[in-house]
Amino acid sequence: MAPDYRLLAESWLADDPDPASRAELSRLIAGLPGTEDELRDRFAGPLTFGTAGLRGRLRAGPNGMNLAVVTRAAAGLVAWLAEQGGKGPLVIGYDARHGSREFAEQTARVATGAGREALIMPGLQPTPVLAYAVRALDAVAGVMVTASHNPPQDNGYKVYLGRELGGPGGDGAQIVPPADAGIEAAIRAVGPIADVALGSPGTPVDSKVIEAYARSAAAVLAEGGPRDLAVAYTPMHGVGGATLLAAFDAAGFPAPAVVTEQAAPDPEFPTVAFPNPEEPGAMDLLLALASATNADLAIANDPDADRCAVAIPAADGGWRALRGDELGALLGDHLIRRGVRGTYATTIVSSQLLGRLCAARGVPHAETLTGFKWIVRAAEELAYGYEEALGYCVAPGMVRDKDGITAALTVAELAAALKAEGRTLADRLDELAAEFGVHATDQLSVRVDDLAEIGAAMTRARQAPPATLLGLPAGVTDDEANNVLTFRTATARAVIRPSGTEPKLKAYLEVVEPVADGDLAAARTRAGDGLTGLRREIAAALGV
């Protein structure tokens, strides 16, 4: 029997604490039957804890981010923490997105209403600062209200655990199974919202914690190194600007030039189509500023500053954005050269270069499933972790998550040291390519309207895998438990998986070309041609 969407909406409406959401649903109910498709989408099911906790569109109903959903999530989280016997406060942070502050304050009231101390960050803060505070304040858990680099109509709710429940490797890290399932079950068990007790708005975190983050970030760098570097920077309408500038100052770098149009937090992200440094055009204003100021380096954070993008001067006089794998290899190599001990980790979809570099240097290396919640748990003595989607953890003892601020400082340290020698990041990339071969990477990303299309494409590739890729025999590895399909030859690899945060099917492509007779340009041309061919063959295998 088809659900009665009017009945579902009216039932939700009666329990919704937000007048704006109630008015929104009332309009949709009044518009029936013309609004049935919209109501069907909102009541198709509740948001569930995924790769990044809760994330969805700001709208009324269970399949959206709104005060009712956040109240239930907070009540479920607090109940689960109590069931686990977790002691200590819940620390809560928020960014500049629509609804973020209200969602954070409601979470604090739910926590105090349940008898747990709630510490709320002082104003808008980057996600890595919240992750740092979980450790610094010995909190039982942390909540960060953000949708990271998603479009402006979205918001989200990330959950971190402290040492007591997360263990040494998960102290200040995002939740993983079985915690996510336990929290999800606790959320489902929450009764009427009217019965959720609300307490005081919590206690503001002392601003000294924020200052301590900046000092700790600066201390990640080696003492006494060169600091002569001209940097152009954008926080991309997000909340990382003040923190990054404070960290650069504490580290002794000149103040970066900041993109004026993108300097202030703005939930509408008016100058970019998508507030993601990986998206075409998102860094245009930054690169224009870098050219105008004759910068050595251009750096962008995403809106919650947990990711870091870097562009370098190109031979043609313009700028070239580094791929996430290129920056990942540069940072890993730099930390190894600095003598930072421990395990160096990346994911199954990132380039194989870091693993080969670690093998050559005699350094422990680990490969994990996609997501920083797995990377930071690769080893208790983690030295460094990265993923190709511009996420870097250069100081796991400080922030057990990706951190775009400390990553920016570390690449600045490397660039300044190379500049002092009359060299550049491009020169260092050339050296790595000459030693290990050109590792060219790219993505085939297919956005869908119907999630069933992803399953159908994966099925086609499983049932008729390509026998060859780029003319070489191809082997296949099928990790059905994690829905990851890998095709591999002696010189090429394609890792295929559904996105954990968006309605996309992604294929991560890599071609490795040795450098013959020192001819880097020829090797890069061959690798680029190989990527073009690999993309075409994988698209055919998927039927997309």
Angle at 465 between CA 459 and CA 469, to 5 degrees: 140
> Looking at residue 12, what DSSP letter applies?
H
Q: What is the pLDDT along the chain (544 residues), one digit of tens a residue?
A: 467 889 999 999 999 999 999 999 999 999 999 999 999 999 988 888 765 689 999 999 999 999 999 999 999 999 999 999 999 999 999 999 999 999 999 999 999 999 999 999 999 999 999 999 999 999 999 999 999 999 999 999 999 999 999 998 899 999 999 999 999 999 999 999 999 999 999 999 999 999 999 999 999 999 999 999 999 999 999 999 999 999 999 999 999 999 999 999 999 999 999 999 999 999 999 999 999 999 999 999 999 999 999 999 998 999 999 999 999 999 999 999 999 999 999 999 999 999 999 999 999 999 999 999 999 999 989 999 999 999 999 999 999 999 999 999 999 999 999 999 999 999 999 999 999 999 999 999 988 888 889 999 999 999 999 999 999 999 999 999 999 999 999 999 999 999 876 788 999 999 999 998 889 999 999 999 999 999 999 999 999 8
| Residues 40 and 89 grouped into a single domain | no
Angle at 90 between CA 396 and CA 187, to 5 degrees: 105
Does a structural domain hold residue 390? yes
> Rounded distance, CA 538 to CA 445, Å?
11
Q: Residue 114, Cβ neighbours under 10 Å: how many?
A: 20
> Rounded distance, CA 390 to CA 376, Å?
15
SS3 call for 537: helix
| Residues 33 and 67 grouped into a single domain | no
> Rounded distance, CA 338 to CA 93, Å?
33
379-391 in b/e form (b: 16+ CB < 10 A) is beebbbbbbbbbb
Given this model, what pLDDT does residue 50 score? 62
| Residues 246 and 363 grouped into a single domain | yes
Does a structural domain hold residue 123? yes
Which residue type occupies 311? A
CATH of the domain at 68: 3.40.120.10
| Residues 381 and 501 grouped into a single domain | no
Single residue among 375, 392, 421 that ends a domain in this structure: 421
Single residue among 142, 162, 191 that ends a domain in this structure: 191
| Residues 215 and 89 grouped into a single domain | no
Does a structural domain hold residue 332? yes
Q: Where are the alpha helices (DSSP H) in 170-228?
A: 179-188, 207-219
Given this model, what pLDDT does residue 168 score? 86
SS3 call for 434: helix
| Residues 40 and 52 grouped into a single domain | no
Given this model, what pLDDT does residue 451 score? 84
Does a structural domain hold residue 199? no
Does a structural domain hold residue 200? no
Does a structural domain hold residue 203? no
Given this model, what pLDDT does residue 49 score? 72
| Residues 14 and 95 grouped into a single domain | no
| Residues 53 and 35 grouped into a single domain | no
Q: Tell me: cis bond preceding 178? Omega within 30 of 0 counts.
A: yes
311 closest CA partner among 336, 334, 337, 289: 289
Does a structural domain hold residue 429? no
> Rounded distance, CA 385 to CA 401, Å?
9
Strand-pair partners of 240: none
Q: Where are the alpha helices (DSSP H) in 84-194?
A: 100-113, 127-136, 163-166, 179-188
Residues of the chain by 3-state class (helix, strand, coil), percent to 5: 40, 20, 40
> Rounded distance, CA 390 to CA 246, Å?
22
Contact call for residues 267 and 297 (beta carbons, < 8 A): no
Pull the structure tokens for residue 143. 């909540």
Does a structural domain hold residue 331? yes
Given this model, what pLDDT does residue 51 score? 57
| Residues 318 and 302 grouped into a single domain | yes
Q: What is the CA radius of gyration of the chain?
A: 24
How many domains are there within the chain?
Answer: 4
| Residues 111 and 154 grouped into a single domain | yes
Domain span at 363: 210-421
| Residues 238 and 268 grouped into a single domain | yes
CATH of the domain at 507: 3.30.310
Q: Can you list the pairs that 285-292 forms with residues at least 24 positions away whose Cβ atoms lie under 8 Å? A: 285/234, 285/259, 285/261, 286/232, 286/233, 286/234, 286/259, 286/262, 286/311, 287/232, 287/311, 287/318, 287/319, 289/232, 289/234, 289/257, 289/258, 289/259, 290/232, 290/319, 291/318, 291/319
Could you give the residue numbers annotated as active site?
A: 148
| Residues 402 and 490 grouped into a single domain | no
> Rounded distance, CA 332 to CA 338, Å?
10
Strand-pair partners of 344: 365, 384
Single residue among 375, 391, 421 that ends a domain in this structure: 421
